[in-house]
Amino acid sequence: MTAVEPVPCVVRCADAVVPTDHGAFTAIAYRSATGIEHLAMVFGDPTVGTALTRVHSECLTGDVLGSRRCDCGPQLSAALERIADAGAGVLLYLRGHEGRGIGLAAKIAAYQLQDWLGLDTVDANLRLGLPVDARDYADAAAILRDLRVDRIDLLSNNPAKAAGLAAAGVTVAGTTPLEIAANDHNARYLATKRDRLGHNLTHAHLVTRH
């Protein structure tokens, strides 16, 4: 009997060069089995050695609208810059990860609870009956396999992200911090990520704002 090949959870759709403020990246579009589309931004040849890699969760408010309630937009720009400076690497932009996987509408509802009741990002999700973090990294692992990237140096402050990628089959050789300075609007959010979600944030001035 002939063995049946497993159905890939992502399909490569198209690629093109995208000039950015940090250099020219090759943008490769993928579509997942669930219909969600992701983007890999590839610089240089990431298959040689350990690839500097950012697995970036979609954040419309931060990445597109410049919201200062989070650090997502500055992290996205900083990651592209770091990868270009390294000469090679990958940024995976994962759609469907809005609000740590709860979706855009639920994220805005969680913001509302934070504003009205003074809850932090963890307790706001729980008050809505939603998980603190619902992200899945199977698509990220499949994209890295398609790119022939065997080992990564993960640009992240989040040990849970490294663990999630490892559980999905990615060899995470190490992590490199991607810390952004706090502002008056996200200091409490960043302190919550440090104190309740285990992020490796070391800014001495980062304190919970009441």
Answer yes or no: is 198 a known binding residue. Answer: no
Answer yes or no: is 100 a known binding residue. Answer: yes
Residues 6+ apart with CB under 8 A from 169: 141, 145
Answer yes or no: is 112 a known binding residue. Answer: no
Answer yes or no: is 62 a known binding residue. Answer: no
Answer yes or no: is 13 a known binding residue. Answer: no
- Residues forming the active site: 133, 135
Answer yes or no: is 156 a known binding residue. Answer: yes
Closest CA to 47 of 12, 90, 94, 91: 90
CB 200 within 8 A of CB 157: yes
Residues belonging to the chain: 210
Answer yes or no: is 59 a known binding residue. Answer: yes
3-state secondary structure of 56: strand
Answer yes or no: is 66 a known binding residue. Answer: no
Answer yes or no: is 121 a known binding residue. Answer: yes
CB 47 within 8 A of CB 37: no
β-pairing, 151-155 with 51-57?
parallel
Answer yes or no: is 175 a known binding residue. Answer: no
Please state, as a whole number, how many other Cβ atoms lie within 10 Å of the Cβ of residue 113: 18
Q: Provide the total of helices (H) and of strands (E) in the chain, helices listed first.
A: 7, 7
**Which residue ranges are tagged as binding site?**
54-59, 70, 72, 75, 98-100, 121, 156, 161
**Which residue ranges are tagged as binding site for GTP?**
54-58, 75, 98-100, 121, 156, 161
**Which residue ranges are tagged as binding site for Zn(2+)?**
59, 70, 72
